[in-house]
Structure 1
Amino acid sequence: MSPAATPRWKVALVAAAAAGAATLAIVATAALGGDAGATVPPSTEPGATEPADETSARTIAVTGHGTVEVTPDVADLWLGVQATRPTATEAMDVIAAKSTDLVATLKALGAEARDIQTSGVSLYPNYGNDGVAINGYQASVSVNVRLRDIDGVGAVLDGVQGFVGEELTIGGISFSYDDPEAVLGDARAAAVDNARERAAQYAAAAGTDVGDVIRIAESSAETFPPVYYAEGRVAADEAGAVAIEPGTQELSADVTVVFEMT
């Protein structure tokens, strides 16, 4: 059928469909504010702007180190009793009696019960030259004690030596600070000051100034590593008391600080 012969009812339907589509397009355009491709602009109301942070502002990040020196106020002693006897029973009886004397003497000389701890008990046979025959037994007990009076450490060592006798063993001594957090604040403050000084140096080199602190992160805060002394350092001689010198210890803190550059 030729175009000229198209029935009038079909032409009418096509025209109606086209008119409907045009109407829908007009409605859609009106709903979108007259521009189908338009985008909604961002809000410009007060308070809508996000505050600047270290990713949008000019900043500098530096590390700072701070230290504080203190005198230890706590001493930890490793003491013990050791005895060798022909039989296991005899060896154990000796260390039982001597360890009781040791603990009693420690308490009498000012050590608190909460600071005295038995850390080990052992019993071993002693073998002869052939490695087979047992010619005795060695028993031992270890006692750890914390002394909160540094000045009295020498007197304690002398006292336990006198009461326990030749069976006393001294494994060593260490010094530390009982409450590191009480002095860590000074080290942290020094670390922040050090960070600001370093930031000022970089800022001056760049021709700018250091502004407010944006962020602080603690890298580390070192508590006191105990200072150990071997038994040879605390052994008393026949002439008199043991000389105990705790010395000083250093506590340090490290921080990373982000400053605004102005």
Structure 2
Amino acid sequence: MSPDAEPRQPTLFATGYGTVSVTPDVAVLRFYVYRTHPTNHMAAYRAAVDAAQQVIAALREEGLADDALRTVDIETNTRHHTDRQGRRHLIEHEVRYVLEARVRDFELAGKLVGRALAAGASEATLWGFEISDVRELELQAVEHAVRHARERAEAAARAAGVRVGPPLRMNLRLSGRASRYDYRDSFVVYSAGPAEEPAAPISPGQREIGAEVEVTFALEPSG
């Protein structure tokens, strides 16, 4: 090495983790309407649309806001059976109509499950939970992760008899967000008789917003 070359800056790489626990404040429900007809596709379609309209009306009567409900899917299908001679035979026409609701009031969400089934839904599903705003929670998790990385680096530096300097490089990863902070770890299908309207108890539990940070610190002489 040339006598005029400056010595390379010593560094220390550390990883830090931070988490913040939070109770989700939005329940995501899905309501499925299935209707079939043995010969007429449009008859199945009309039956599904009529039933979906009845479910929508029942949900709104229960207090669900218009902007909290959306149509997720309308799917039509024709089922056939192929016999041993290779000939296809019509089994039935089927139509699936799917609605999705986002509800902040969990007591109301529990009522909507039974009300939708009584109004004609084939299935009512607790699709998952969401956190409406995680921005501040993410910032807190990031701060925890950075402090954790520095604490670990300082412990290592003390043991080596040096001192941690400023960070030179940082990489950040967030976890617990999924699609729009969506937690689809619950997929419970409720079934009830047409005259029953039980209110399903819904408990969101706790979720964690996490951050992981990788930091390269400069090392300086101690003292």
Q: TM-score, normalised by structure 2?
A: 0.77
Provide the secondary structure at the position in 2 that maps to 1:133: strand
Which structure's residues are more often strand, by fraction?
2
Find the aligned partners of 2:51 and 2:27 in 1 and give their Cα distance: 23
Find the aligned partners of 1:57 and 1:236 in 2 and give their Cα distance: 69
Q: Does 1:72 align with 2:29?
A: no
Of 99, 106, 115, the residue aligned with 1:150 is: 106
Kindly state the Cα deviation for residue 198 of structure 1 after the two structures are TM-superposed.
0.3
In structure 1, stretches of 5+ residues that fail to align are 1-54
Find the aligned partners of 2:78 and 2:167 in 1 and give their Cα distance: 67
Q: Does 1:170 align with 2:170?
A: no
Query: Residues 192-207 of structure 1 correspond to what in structure 2 (within 5 A)?
Result: 192-207=146-161
In structure 2, stretches of 5+ residues that fail to align are 1-6
Give the equivalent residue in structure 2 for 1:248: 206
Find the aligned partners of 1:100 and 1:81 in 2 and give their Cα distance: 10
Q: Contact (CA 8 Å) 1:80, 1:168: kept in 2 or not?
A: yes
Give the equivalent residue in structure 2 for 1:37: none
Q: Percentage identity across aligned positions?
A: 26
Of 38, 48, 58, the residue aligned with 1:95 is: 48
Find the aligned partners of 2:132 and 2:81 in 1 and give their Cα distance: 47
Provide the secondary structure at the position in 2 that maps to 1:246: coil
Q: Larger deviation: 61-70 or 139-148?
A: 139-148
Q: Contact (CA 8 Å) 2:173, 2:211: kept in 1 or not?
A: yes
Q: Contact (CA 8 Å) 2:123, 2:191: kept in 1 or not?
A: no
Q: Does 1:108 align with 2:52?
A: no
Of 69, 82, 88, the residue aligned with 2:34 is: 82
Q: Does 1:229 align with 2:186?
A: yes
CA deviations 1:134-192 (Å, max 9, x no partner) are: 3542222112222232343211111212222xx42235511121112121111111101
Say how many residue pairs are matched: 205
Query: What one-letter code is carried by the residue in structure 1 that aligns with 2:12?
Result: I
Q: TM-score, normalised by structure 1?
A: 0.67
Q: Contact (CA 8 Å) 2:117, 2:192: kept in 1 or not?
A: no
Q: Larger deviation: 216-225 or 201-210?
A: 216-225
Q: Contact (CA 8 Å) 1:217, 1:256: kept in 2 or not?
A: yes
Q: Does 1:191 align with 2:145?
A: yes
Find the aligned partners of 1:160 and 1:216 in 2 and give their Cα distance: 54
Query: What one-letter code is carried by the residue in structure 2 that aligns with 1:191?
Result: A
Residues 239/83 of structure 1: CA separation in 2 closer, same or farther (3 Å cut): closer
Kindly state the Cα deviation for residue 104 of structure 1 after the two structures are TM-superposed.
2.3
Give the equivalent residue in structure 1 for 2:173: 220
Residues 123/214 of structure 1: CA separation in 2 closer, same or farther (3 Å cut): closer
